[in-house]
Amino acid sequence: MERRPFFVLGDLAANTVTGVVVAWATAALVGAGWNMFVGMWVGMALGMVLAFVLSFAAFIWFLGAMEVMLPVMFTGMAAGMVVGMGIPMNSFAETSLAAVGASTGIAVFVFTYVIDALLGGKVKKWTT
Amino acid sequence: MDHVTRAKWDKAAATFDVMNGRGPERRWGPIKEAFFSKMRGEILFLAVGTGLDIRFFPPGQKITGIDISPNMIEKAKQRVASYDGQMEVRVMDVHEMDFAPGSFDQVFTSCTFCSVPNPVDGLAALGRVLRPGGELHMFEHTGSRWFPFNLMLNVMTPLSRRVGPEMNRSTVQNVARAGFAIQEVENHFLDVVKTIRATVPETTAA
């Protein structure tokens, strides 16, 4: 598992920023009158694409390739899903979008580090 | 010679260092240093690229590097020349290597088999140029068995393969399919970035 402060803080920042950007972008696209499921799928797709672009435009120069792209795309998908569903359901105010996006990014960051710690090291069985 | 693959990597050579240099090399530097420290004997390094990995090679080794792309080799020349040991590089397709069977003690690859068009054939070709008992050392990124990471890798692959690698390959399985005996697999990021050590069986070539 990654322990160097530059990368740990960088991963945290990348996921947090991505969550906020995707939350704002999804809210700008998905309207209150949308069907909840349509909003969810649109948000997920938009989030993944935006996260992919953000990774290439900014994060990989500093933080690596897979190690930043995978969690950031997961953050994009999750933040897009949450906001894409939430806007039609009036689940949260527009002022809390940044908090929702940032929390999603932090949750994905923690999730990725936990899974990485569980999978890391020598393995006896492999499928990939 | 696979001209489609050569053209793809010739085109990628111009921006390869920008895309792969700073972030990934800083991230993977310590792992690569430990990985390449196992170099011994006659060594084949597959897919030299622009030579970014050469700085991690231990000094004093005898290394033959190949790459399918002349543009990549051209960019690598300065790094090859600065290596503190014997190193030569040649333009060659892994599927059409002209080395005699059993020429090498070890083969090293670094993020290579995400890009070789026919990975099992390419790995089998490496088995032929290794001596019986010879070692294959790979630092590779592969697909993942875990959701949501496998979803991300599958989504990225149709786009990434146009300009470079595939993200969802089952490289460890491919190594076994090519006839190698897997000795060790170590995950370095999730089950995606990993090192693989395999050997050619003593009795039969891979």
Token pair of B96 as six digits: 């059409």
Instruction: Work out the average pLDDT over B60-73.
Output: 97
pLDDT in tens, A3-28: 899 999 999 999 999 999 999 999 99
Of B148, B169, B193, the CB nearest to A66: B193
Cβ contacts of B105 within 8 Å, gap of 6 or more: B40, B41, B42, B43, B130, B131, B134, B135
A-B interface: how many C-beta pairs under 8 angstroms? 91
pLDDT reported for residue A94: 74
Are B152 and A122 inside 8 Å of each other by CB? Answer: no
What is the rounded (10 degree) CA torsion for A102, A104, A106, A108?
A: -150
Are B23 and A74 inside 8 Å of each other by CB? Answer: no
Is residue B167 assigned to a domain?
yes
pLDDT reported for residue B21: 66
Which neighbouring-strand residues pair with B197?
B137, B184
The total number of structural domains that make up chain B:
1
What's the pTM?
A: 0.91
Is residue B83 assigned to a domain?
yes
Q: How far is CA A13 from CA A18, A102, A105, in A?
A: 8, 9, 9
Is residue B163 assigned to a domain?
yes
**Domain residue limits at B89:** 3-199
Least confident of A20-24, A94-98, B17-21, B187-191: B17-21
Are B156 and A115 inside 8 Å of each other by CB? Answer: no
What is the rounded (10 degree) CA torsion for B40, B42, B47, B50?
A: 80
pLDDT reported for residue B1: 77
- Please state the domain extents for chain A: 19-62+73-113
pLDDT in tens, B84-93: 999 999 999 9
The more confident residue out of A107 and B117 is A107
**ipTM (interface predicted TM):** 0.90
Are A66 and B148 inside 8 Å of each other by CB? Answer: no
A111/A1 Cα distance (integer angstroms): 12
pLDDT band at B204 (very low <50, low <70, confident <90, very high): low
* Other C-beta atoms lying within 10 Å of the C-beta of residue B199: 18
Chain B residues with beta carbon closer than 8 angstroms to that of A66: 141, 189, 192-193
* Other C-beta atoms lying within 10 Å of the C-beta of residue B28: 25
Cβ(B107)–Cβ(B78) below 8 Å: no
Which positions in chain A have a beta carbon within 8 angstroms of at least one beta carbon in chain B? Answer: 2, 7, 48, 52, 59-70, 73-74, 77, 112, 115-116, 119-123, 126-128
Percent of chain B residues topping a pLDDT of 70 = 98
Q: Is B120's pLDDT higher than 80?
A: yes
